[in-house]
Amino acid sequence: MKRLFDWVLAVLTAPMFVGCGADFDPGSRVVGTRVVAVVVDQPYAHPGETVKVDAQALDTLGRPLEWGFVTCFAPRATTPFACFQKIAEDAAGGTLPALTIGPSNTYSYTVPADALARLPVEARPSAYVGVLIVTCPGKIQPGDTQGLPLACVADGRALRLDEFEVGVKRVFLREKDRNQNPVIAKVNWDGVEWPEGEVKEVSPCGSSTENRYDRCDGGEKHVVAAILGAGVRETGTDELGNPFTEDVAIQHYATEGLFEYDARIGDRPETGWVARAGASGKTVTLWFVARDNRGGVGWTSRRVKVR
Amino acid sequence: MSQGGKVVAKATTTFDGVFVFGQLAPGTYAVKVTLDGFQPFAVDETVAAGEETQVVYRPQVIPPKPTGDEPIEIEVKGQKPPREVTRHVLEAAELKKIPGTNGDAIRAIENLPGVARPPSVQGLLIVRGSAPFDTGIFIDGTQIPIAYHFGGLVSVVPSEVLERIEFYPGNYGVQFGRGMGGVVDIGLRSPKKDGFHGLLQVDLLDGRAMIEGPIGTRTRFLAAARRSWVDAWLKPVLESTGTGVSTAPVYYDAQVILEHDVTDQTTARFAFFGAKDRLAITLNAPDPNDPGGGDLGVSLWFWYLQGRVQSKLPGGHRWTTTISYGADAQDVQFASNYLRITTYPLTLRTDFRAKLADSASAVFGIDTQWSNADIQLKVPPIQREGEAPSPFFSRPPSVFDFNAKLFRPGAYALLDWRPLEDLTLLPGVRVDYAKDTAEWNVSPRIAGRWNVTKHPRTTIKGGTGVFYQPPQPNESIPPYGTVGLGNNRSVHYSLGFEREFGRHVELSVEGFYKDLRNLVVQSDAAASTQSGASWANTGSGRVAGAEFLLRYKNDGKFFGWIAYTLSKSQRRDAPGEPLRDFQYDQTHILSVLASYQLGNGWQVGGRFRYVTGSPYTPYTGGVGDYDAGAYAAIPGALYSARDGAFHRLDLRVDKTWKFPGWQLGAYLDIQNVYNRRNPEGQQYNFNYSKSQAVAGLPILPIVGLRGEL
C-alpha cells in the first residue's frame, strides 16, 4: 500500500507547491482575458433536465469576447483534461456535439434522459457532463494551441493559451440530489458593509512591481471580506449514502493590487488588499467568488478608485 | 589446524595478525594459536561449504607482572564469498564515517553502484532502474515498509544496532522473493556480553541513547531509542517564512534485543523494532490553486516483534527460524480528505542449510506472509502515472472503508555446488503463491562464480533469474483494485568480473539487463473499480546498464571508492507503444568518496556525487477548472524532459578523545559544501504558463557529540 500512500500524499500536497517560493505574478491578478466564475443553475442535474450555464469573464484590454461551448459526456476521469480526451474520442467516433460559438456567455444543455442508466454502476458516483468553454478576445477557429485542437485569433495572430481561456465546468449527474449555489450575502470593507454600487478610494503602496502583500508598504491597506449567506455550507447524506459537509472557499480576483490571501475559507473570509502604484488614477474591479466543493458557485464584484 | 587429531594445515599471521586457511573441506577443525608473549589456546571452528568462516581471537598477553595488561585484539578479516552474483558488504568502520550521510549506515547504500539518487527529501531506494517499491528492505528477514524517516536524512534503524547490511542490487538468491528490484537485508547485532556498554549521541537532527550488557552468563540485552528535535529549531524557521507550520517533522525509533543461549549450539533471540514519523502543517488560508486545502497531517509508524532461533546441528547443518508479527500504519489527512491504512503482517521464515557433500550444500526454506489490512480512505480519484496535476476541490472523492487480507506463501531450494575447485554454481528455485492474484509462480535462478586467478584474485561472475512481484494491494483487491490482475514479472541477467590489486584494492565491473513484463499499469479501459481506475498487466520495459566499483578497502587509515553506474531504464504502458524513459531513470551516477585517519583521533573525509537529472513530464500550459477556480496542467510527453544535473560535495571531520573506560567523539558533517542549487523538479505559476526549477537542499552542516562506554 506504500505506492497508494505515496500517490495520495503527492496528489494532496502538490497544489501547495504550485508557485511556491517563486516570484510569479499572483493568480488573483487578472491580466488580459480571464474567466472568474461559471455558474450553473443546477450544479447537480437530473436526467432529462435542462441546465443553464452562465460564464463571467473580463478582458482588461476591453476587447469583445467570443464564446465557444461544447460538452463531453461522462469522461473517464474528473480532470479537465479528461473532457478534452472524451471530445477527441467522440470526434474520432463521429459523435462530436457541435461547438456553439457566439458573443453570448450563456449556454443551455439538456441532460439525456438515460444519462445515468447508460453508465456502469461503478461510474455513477462521479458521473458528470463537462461543459468545455472557450473564451476568446478575437475569433475562435480550428487550429492547434499547445496541443488543443482550436485557436483564438486576435490582431492577426493565434494567441497563446495563456492569452485566452479554455476550461471545463462540470455538471454532476444525480437521480435525486441537489446542490445549491453558495450565496454571498454582503461584502465588508474594514468591517463595514460595502454596498455593490459604492466605489471606494484608496492610496496605493509605493511599488508597482512588488508581488507580496506584506512587502507592499506605504499605501492604504484595507480588510475586505465576502460574507456568505446563512446555511450556505450544506451538510447531509447524499443519495449514495455518503455523509457530506461542504467545503466553501472564497477566491479573490482584481485587475490590480495584492491580496493578503488569494483564497480564504468561507468561515474566515477576511483578507487584506492593497493597490500598487501602477494603478494610480485607475478604477480597479475586485471579484469575490464563493465555491463549494460540489460544483456550486456564487459571485459578486466591487470597484475601487486608486488615487 | 587439525581434524580428527591430524594436523591438516598451518599458517603464520601477517604483521597485523591476519591469517587465512584456504580450500578447506567442510567440517569441524581444532585451531591452536601460539605466539610468543601470549597464552596459547585452542578452539573448534566449523567450516561450511561455500562459505568463509571469519573469527576474531583475543589471546591473553602473558602478564609480565601480577598487575597484568589489557587483552590485545587480533582481528581476522574476511568476507563470505557471495552466494549471489553481486553482494556489497560495507564494514562498520566505513559505514559510520562516510561523509554526507551523517554517520547513518543505511544511507551509505546510496553510494554504491546501481543505486540512483532519489528526489530531494524523499527517502526512497531506487535500485538498477526499478521503482522504489520494487526493492525490499528487510531486518533479519522481516520486511519493513520504509527505510528512512521523513526527508530521507536518517534511516529507521540507527547504525549502532547493526551487525551488517547486505545489499543485493539484483539477481539475488531464492531466499528473497516478491520483488523485482534489489534487496537490502539489515542484520541487527547481538548485544555485547563482556560487560555493560552505553552510548549517548546528540546532533542537530536527533538524540539517541543505547545500553546493552549481559544478564547472567547466557543472556544479554540491548535497548536503544532515538528522537528527532528537528521540530525544535525548524518550526520557528518555517513560521518565519509564513508557512503556517504547527508541528515540524518529528521522528522516533526504538530497538530492543534480548538474546539467550539455549544451548552451546542454539541461540534464541527476541527483538522489537519500530519507528514513527509525524508531520502536521496548518495553513492560514486554503491554497488558491486548489481551495479545498486545509491542515495537513501525516503519520507513519511501524513496529514488529520478532522471534528467531538459530541452531548449529550435527554434521555441519544449520537451521534458522524467524517469526514476526507487527503493524504498520500510514495516515494522511488533508482538509476533509484522508487515507488510513493499518496493516498487521505475520511472517514466517525458516531456513535449513544442509551439508550434502564436501563440495555441495543445500538450502531449503519457507518464506510466508499473512497480512490483514484495515483501510479507510476518502481521496481524489486516481490519476494515471505522469498525469498532470488537477485541482481536486470539487471532484467527487473515492470513499472506502474495507478490510483486505493477503496470503502469500513461498518456498525455496538452493544448491551450493562446487563442481571444480574454483567454480561455484548456485542453482535455485523458488515457488510463490499470491492469494490476491490466485497465481502460482515458479522462479528459477542461477548464479555462478569462477575464480580465474587466486593471488591476486580474479573472479568472473554471472547469473540470471526470474523474479515475480505481486501487485500492490490497492491495485488488486476489490473494491478499490481490479480483480483478475496477474503478478509483475522480471528476468535479470548479469555478467561481470572482480579483480583484486593487492590486499586492499578491488575492481568490480558488471553489466546487467532486466526484462520487465506483465507490469501493472493503469488501463485505458473504463473504470472497473470504485476507485475510478482500472489496472491491467499490459506494461513492459527494460533496464540495461553497467556498474563499476574501484574500492580501496579500509586499511585502518584510509578507505574510499569510486562507484559509477551507467544505465537506461525504459517502460511502455501497452504493447505497440514506443519505449519511454522511466520516472527514476538516471543515466550517469558517480560517487567518489574517501576517508583518512590523520592520527591523534582525527579523521577527515569527503564525498562527491554527480547524477544525471531525473525525468519529468513537462506541462505545456493550463486549462481552467471552473469548479475549483484554478487551472489544470496540460501534460507534454510522459517523462520527456529532465532536470539539470545534480552534483554535490560533502565533507566530514571526526575527532575522538579516548578516556579510561569510555570515549568521546565529535563530528562535523557538512552536506552540499559549495551550496549548489541542485534542480529538483519544476514549479509553475498559477496557469502553468511559466516555470522555474526548484532548488534542493542548501548547505547543511550537522554537528554532533557522541559518548560511548
Last residue of a domain, one of A173, A194, A220: A173
Q: Do B292 and A249 touch (CB under 8 A)?
A: yes
List, for residues B633-666, the tens digit of each pLDDT value. Answer: 988 888 999 999 999 999 999 999 999 989 999 9
- The minimum CA-CA distance between B437 and chain A, rounded to whole Å, is 15
What is the spatial distance between Cα A97 and Cα A79, in angstroms, rounded to a whole number? Answer: 20
User: Which helix H or strand E contains A54, and what residues bound it?
Assistant: strand A50-59
User: How far is Cα of residue B79 from the mean position of the Cα atoms in its chain?
Assistant: 19
* A30 is a domain residue: yes
Last residue of a domain, one of A109, A139, A173: A173
Contact list, B634 vs chain A (CB under 8 Å): 81, 146-148, 161
What is the spatial distance between Cα B150 and Cα B299, in angstroms, rounded to a whole number? Answer: 10
Residue of B nearest to A20 (CA): B683
pLDDT band at A85 (very low <50, low <70, confident <90, very high): confident
Contact list, A5 vs chain B (CB under 8 Å): 330, 332, 339, 341
Gyration radius from chain A CA atoms? 21
Q: Which of B419, B417, B418, B446 is nearest to B430 (CA)?
A: B446
* A235 is a domain residue: yes
* A159 is a domain residue: yes
What is the spatial distance between Cα B169 and Cα B182, in angstroms, rounded to a whole number? Answer: 4
What cell numbers appear for B275 in the block? 519507528
Q: Are residues A197 and A302 in the same domain?
A: yes
List, for residues A117-165, the tens digit of each pLDDT value. Answer: 988 887 788 899 999 999 999 999 988 888 788 899 998 999 999 999 9
What cell numbers appear for B330 in the block? 500510514
Strands in B262-292 per DSSP E: 266-281
* A178 is a domain residue: no
Are B148 and B119 in contact, with CB atoms under 8 Å apart? no
* pLDDT at residue B683 is higher than 70: yes
Query: What is each CA distance from B313 to A184, B8, B28, B270, B318, in whole angstroms?
Result: 81, 23, 12, 21, 6
Identify the CATH number of the domain in which residue A80 sits. Answer: 2.60.40
Q: Are residues A140 and A221 in the same domain?
A: no
* A11 is a domain residue: no
What is the percentage of chain A residues whose pLDDT exceeds 90? 67
* pLDDT at residue B71 is higher than 50: no
pLDDT band at B49 (very low <50, low <70, confident <90, very high): low
Last residue of a domain, one of A139, A173, A207: A173
* pLDDT at residue A83 is higher than 60: yes
A–B CB contacts, 8 A cutoff, strictly below: 232
What is the spatial distance between Cα A74 and Cα A59, in angstroms, rounded to a whole number? Answer: 31
List, for residues A158-170, the tens digit of each pLDDT value. Answer: 999 999 999 999 9
* A8 is a domain residue: no
Query: What is each CA distance from B690 to A13, B47, B80, B542, B619, in whole angstroms?
Result: 20, 66, 55, 34, 10
What is the spatial distance between Cα A35 and Cα B626, in angstroms, rounded to a whole number? Answer: 8
For residue A39, the enclosing domain spans: 25-173
Report the pLDDT averaged over residues B90-104.
Answer: 73
List, for residues A25-70, the tens digit of each pLDDT value. Answer: 899 999 999 999 999 999 999 999 999 999 999 899 999 999 999 9
What cell numbers appear for B629 in the block? 477556480
* pLDDT at residue B28 is higher than 80: no
What is the spatial distance between Cα B393 and Cα A266, in angstroms, rounded to a whole number? Answer: 14
* A18 is a domain residue: no
Q: Lowest-pLDDT range, A87-96, B207-216, B217-226, B526-535?
A: B526-535
* pLDDT at residue A7 is higher than 90: no
Q: Are residues A168 and A35 in the same domain?
A: yes
Q: Are residues A90 and A198 in the same domain?
A: no
List, for residues B690-707, the tens digit of each pLDDT value. Answer: 999 888 888 988 898 989
Q: What is the pLDDT of residue B284?
A: 76
Report the pLDDT averaged over residues B452-464.
Answer: 91
Contact list, B284 vs chain A (CB under 8 Å): 261
Q: Are residues A119 and A163 in the same domain?
A: yes
Report the pLDDT averaged over residues A276-301.
Answer: 95
First CA to last CA distance, chain B: 36
- What are the φ and ψ backbone dihedral angles of A6, each rounded to 5 degrees? -60, -40
User: How far is Cα of residue B268 from the mean position of the Cα atoms in its chain?
Assistant: 25
Q: What is the pLDDT of residue B68?
A: 38
* pLDDT at residue B15 is higher than 90: no
What is the spatial distance between Cα B202 and Cα B210, in angstroms, rounded to a whole number? Answer: 12
Report the pLDDT averaged over residues B103-126.
Answer: 83
Mean pLDDT of chain A: 90
Q: What is the pLDDT of residue B109?
A: 87
What is the percentage of chain B residues whose pLDDT exceeds 70? 88
Q: Are residues A53 and A154 in the same domain?
A: yes
pLDDT band at B61 (very low <50, low <70, confident <90, very high): low
What is the spatial distance between Cα B188 and Cα B140, in angstroms, rounded to a whole number? Answer: 7
Q: Which residues are within 8 A (CB) of B687 and not within 5 positions of it... i.e. 6 or more apart?
A: A27, A162, B621, B622, B631
What is the spatial distance between Cα A286 and Cα A202, in angstroms, rounded to a whole number? Answer: 13
What is the spatial distance between Cα A305 and Cα B144, in angstroms, rounded to a whole number? Answer: 62
What cell numbers appear for B543 in the block? 533496464
Q: Are residues A204 and A132 in the same domain?
A: no
pLDDT band at B69 (very low <50, low <70, confident <90, very high): very low
Alpha helices, DSSP H, located in A14-162: 80-92
Of the residues B134, B332, B627, B687, the best mutation for testing chain A's interface (the one with the most A CB atoms within 10 Å of its CB) is: B627
Q: Residue B205: exposed, middle, or buried by beta-carbon count in 10 A (0-12, 13-18, 19+)?
A: buried
What would the DSSP string read from start to end of B93-115?
HHHTT-TTTTT-TGGGGGGSTTE
Q: Which domains does chain B have, with CATH numbers?
A: 1-78 (no CATH), 88-186 (2.170.130.10), 187-708 (2.40.170.20)
Q: In the beta sheet, which residues pair with residue A57? A: A35
* pLDDT at residue B604 is higher than 50: yes
pLDDT band at B528 (very low <50, low <70, confident <90, very high): very low
List, for residues A26-37, the tens digit of each pLDDT value. Answer: 999 999 999 999
* Cα dihedral B49, B52, B53, B54 in deg (nearest 10): -170
Q: Do B626 and A38 touch (CB under 8 A)?
A: yes
Q: Are residues A31 and A167 in the same domain?
A: yes
Q: Do B287 and A3 touch (CB under 8 A)?
A: no
Question: Which of A20, A80, A262 has the CB atom closest to B683's CB atom?
Answer: A20
- How many other CB atoms are found less than 10 A from the CB of residue B381? 23
Q: Do A28 and B288 touch (CB under 8 A)?
A: yes
Structural domain count of chain A: 2
List, for residues A208-261, the tens digit of each pLDDT value. Answer: 899 989 889 888 999 999 999 988 999 999 998 888 889 899 999 999 999 999
Q: Do A264 and B337 touch (CB under 8 A)?
A: no
Q: Are residues A109 and A72 in the same domain?
A: yes
Q: Are residues A31 and A141 in the same domain?
A: yes
Q: What is the pLDDT of residue B293?
A: 61
State the DSSP code for A155. Answer: T
Q: Do B526 and A120 touch (CB under 8 A)?
A: yes
Q: Are residues A111 and A192 in the same domain?
A: no
Q: Are residues A142 and A270 in the same domain?
A: no
- Give the 3-state secondary structure of residue B548: strand
What is the spatial distance between Cα A141 and Cα A134, in angstroms, rounded to a whole number? Answer: 11
* pLDDT at residue B77 is higher than 90: no
pLDDT band at B296 (very low <50, low <70, confident <90, very high): confident
* A20 is a domain residue: no
- How many other CB atoms are found less than 10 A from the CB of residue B544? 17
Q: What is the pLDDT of residue B303?
A: 97
